[in-house]
Amino acid sequence: MPRPLLRRVSEPDTVAAVENIRGFKIGAEGGERLRFSGADFIVRASSDSTGGAFAIIEEIDPLDTPLHVHANEDEFWYVLEGEHVIQVGEDEFHVGPGEMAFGPRGVPHAQRRVVPRTGRFLVFCFPGGFEGFFSELSEAERTGSSMPEAYARVTDKYGITWVDQ
């Protein structure tokens, strides 16, 4: 019988076993494909598949994202292609293929491409759940919903605060 995956729960020093979570493999073409605002996303791992521990979203030719704050998750970017600029707090990181950047929850951050709409990266969200932001926006656009209303709704639901500059 395989050992259960361990993850942190509500108390910072408490570790609990996650029941019924098993190892898995996602092939190169696997994952849930999403699209909105002319951008493509692939959910490579979801909170459902990881017992809530994390999510991984691949962003292809990503949109620039203005300065904002996450209340609920830390983000970790791993660049696959292209040159990206990731601002975390007062720091600005130029990140290329094979390089990484980290943004803790509660700290304002933004991202942009050196060449607009080029490149590809993986964003790891800890804990999982934020992939729902992408799924809900994709579904809203697919069904013809008002995108400004959808953005406002999911921004509130997923604990995002946009920072005026």
- Give tens-digit pLDDT for 5-15: 444 444 444 34
Q: Where do the structural domains in the chain lie, given as residue ranges? A: 31-162
- Is the per-residue pLDDT at 56 higher than 90? yes
Q: Which class is 31-162 in CATH?
A: mainly beta
pLDDT averaged over every residue in the chain = 89
Mean pLDDT of 60-69: 94
Q: What pLDDT sits at residue 19? A: 59
Checking if the pLDDT of 3 tops 70, the result is: no
What's the pTM value of the predicted model, to 2 decimals? 0.85
pLDDT at 165: 55
Tokens of 151: 């953005």
